[in-house]
Amino acid sequence: MQNARPLLAVHLSTSADYDKLIRLRRMALADFCHNYGVSEEIREVLDKNGLRNVKRLLEVSVHELQEMGCTPDDRQDIKRALEKYFEANGLETMFY
C-alpha cells in the first residue's frame, strides 16, 4: 500500500515495557477532539469519513488522512492531540 506509514508510533522505552499490556481509555472522537484541542473543522472531516472513536483514528494512515482532505497542518494537529492522549495514558510517543 502506498504511503501506509502510521501517523505516529508508540515507543516502549524499556524491555520490561514489552511485557506490559497497553490499555488506552475508550474515547469518542468528539470527546478526543474537545479534550485535546483538535478543531471542529478537522473533527467534522474525520467524522464524515467514518472515524467515530480514537481506536479508529489510530488505525488510519497518513495517506488515508490525505485522501480525506486533511492538510499537513491538520495532520500535525491530530499528531499533537494523539501525543497528549498517549501521555495522559502514561505512554511516550515518537513521530515519524
In which residue are the cell numbers 488505525 written? 59
More confident residue, 86 or 65: 65
Look up the pTM and report it.
Answer: 0.76
- In this prediction, residue 1 carries a pLDDT of 40
Domain edges within the chain:
27-95
- In this prediction, residue 2 carries a pLDDT of 44
- Of the CATH numbers 3.30.420, 1.10.150, 3.30.9, 3.30.160, which one belongs to the domain with range 27-95? 1.10.150
- In this prediction, residue 59 carries a pLDDT of 87
Q: Report d(CA 30, CA 47) in Å as an integer.
A: 9
More confident residue, 50 or 3: 50
Greatest alpha-carbon pair distance for the chain in Å reads 40
pLDDT digits 0-9 by tens, 9-48: 555 555 555 555 566 778 999 999 999 999 999 999 999 9
Q: Residue 28 corresponds to which cell in the numbers above? A: 469518542
More confident residue, 7 or 42: 42
E strands within the chain?
8-11, 92-95
In which residue are the cell numbers 497528549 written? 84
Q: Provide the 10 A C-beta neighbour count for residue 51.
A: 21
